[in-house]
Amino acid sequence: MRVSSVRLALVTLLVPLSLTACENSQPRVDVGGLAQAPADLSELEGGVWFADDIQDPQVDLVSGSQIQMEFHQDSLSAEAGCNTLFGGASIDEDTLVVPALASTRKACDDALGQQDAWLSDFLSSRPSIEVLDQDLWLSRGDDTVIHLVRE
């Protein structure tokens, strides 16, 4: 009887967690409320956003590197360890729209160059954008999520 109580407790704990892990279409929820898409990029101005967590089943950040982004009213700049990416940007409902990015042309080792290309592709893929408290979430349907905090 004790074993079935433990199983019931495990099922009670694991089912909500597994449902949450599988559901990517709902906004992130915090005790204080739901994440919201910013109305426009000017809401994200005023500092540099640093990625403190990146989830991508195919990509790991190069050791010692960091992703950072800065937003302006109608543009953004981003760094992934070597070159600076920059270009026009806007928000369409809950989607970050980045039509094209230019880049500085510093010589980088291959791993950092590939990381720059990955970030450019990600930003150009029309990721979802959400803000909750001081956190910024960029996500793409293929389970890629970048979590940024402003510093």
pLDDT tens digits, residue range 49-92?
A: 999 889 998 888 999 999 999 999 999 999 998 999 999 999 99
All domains of the chain in start order, with CATH: 28-150 (2.40.128.270)
pTM as predicted: 0.75
Q: Token pair for residue 124?
A: 């150009």
- Residue 3: pLDDT over 90: no
Q: What is the dihedral of CA 116, 117, 122, 124, to 10 degrees?
A: 110
* pLDDT for residue 34: 60
